[in-house]
Amino acid sequence: MTPFGTRLRAAMETRGPLCVGIDPHGSLLKDWGLNDDVAGLERFTRTTVEALADRVAVLKPQSAFFERFGSRGIAVLEKAVVEARAAGALVLMDAKRGDIGSTMAAYAATFLDPDSPLFSDALTLSPYLGFGSLRPALDAAAAAGAGVFVLALTSNPEGAEVQRSTVADGRSLAQVMLDHMADENAGAQPLGSVGAVVGATLSDAGVNLSINGPLLAPGIGAQGATPADLPRVFGDAVGDVLPSVSRGVLRYGPDIAGLRSAARRFVDETRVAVGA
C-alpha cells in the first residue's frame, strides 16, 4: 500500500486540511435527540460517516466512546471504520495506546494489521513509556502502509509536568519525542508517516516541529482555538498541520447539510490561515 504520509498529503490537498473527530459522548447524543445507548451510538455514527466520509480528508473515531458499550459498541466502530474508508476518508483511530513488548504488539495487531476488523489508516500512540516501546506499532504501521500519531505536546494542563520536563542535555521530553519522530521520517517524500499530536490551544509550542511528518492539532472549535491560531503555534511547520475538530462540527448534527457546511467552513478557514 502507498505509505500513509503520501496518502494523507494527497487527501489534504484534494479534500482540504481537516480531521473530524467522531466523539459520541452522552451529552452530544442527547443534543442530537438520541438515547445514550447502542442504538443512539449507531445512529450518531452512521449519520456522521454518511455526511462526511466522502468529503473530509480524515475521520477520527474516539475508541473509548465505543468501548464503553462493550462488544456491541465495538461492532458499531468496526462498521464505521469499513464504511468511512470505503467512502474515501482516511481513518485515524484515536485510541492513544502505549505499552511494552507483546502487549504493544497486540495493540498494533488490533489497529494496524490489514486483516483486523479494526484496521485503520493510522493510530494515536502515547510514547511516555519510552519511544522505543512503540517499535511494534511503528513496524506494523510501516509494513501495512499505515501511520501513527504520537503524543508530543497536549493542551491539558497536567501534560506539562511530563512533556515539558527536561532531560540531561537540556531538551524537553516533548522535544526528545519529536526528534525520534524526525528520525523515523528521515528521507520520506512528500511526508513521513509518523505524525505528532500538538495542541492547537497552546500559546507557543516552544519546540522544533520540523519532523517531516504530519502534525495533528486538536483543540480547534469548542476548545477555543481557531484556524487563525495555527501559524502562531506551529510557525514554519504550519503547512504540515492537520487541524482536528469534533464538537465544532458535530454540534450541527444530526442535520447532514449542517455537518457538511460546518466541515467546509473549517476547511476554508484553515486554507486561508495556512496559505494553502
The pTM (predicted TM-score) of the whole model is 0.97
pLDDT of residue 275: 81
Do strands 19-22 and 241-245 pair parallel, antiparallel, or not at all (unpaired)?
A: parallel
Single-letter residue type at 273: A
pLDDT of residue 220: 87
pLDDT tens figures, 28-64:
999 999 999 999 999 999 999 999 999 999 999 999 9
pLDDT of residue 262: 97
pLDDT tens figures, 123-163:
999 999 999 999 999 999 999 999 999 999 998 889 989 99
The 10 Å Cβ neighbour count of residue 243 is 29
> How many domains in the chain?
1
pLDDT of residue 268: 96
C-alpha cell at 221: 472549535
CATH code of the domain containing 219: 3.20.20.70
Q: Which domain holds residue 209?
A: 4-274
Give me the count of residues in the chain. Answer: 276
Q: Give the dihedral sign, CA 23/26/30/33.
A: positive
* pLDDT in 10s for each residue of the chain, 276 residues: 899 999 999 999 999 999 999 999 999 999 999 999 999 999 999 999 999 999 999 999 999 999 999 999 999 999 999 999 999 999 999 999 999 999 999 999 999 999 999 999 999 999 999 999 999 999 999 999 999 999 999 988 899 899 999 999 999 999 999 999 999 999 999 999 999 999 998 877 789 999 999 999 998 877 788 999 999 999 999 999 999 999 999 999 999 999 999 999 999 999 999 886
pLDDT of residue 38: 98
Catalytic site includes residue 60: no
The catalytic residue among 30, 60, 79, 96 is 96
Q: How far is CA 47 from CA 84, 250, 259, in A?
A: 11, 10, 9
pLDDT of residue 1: 82
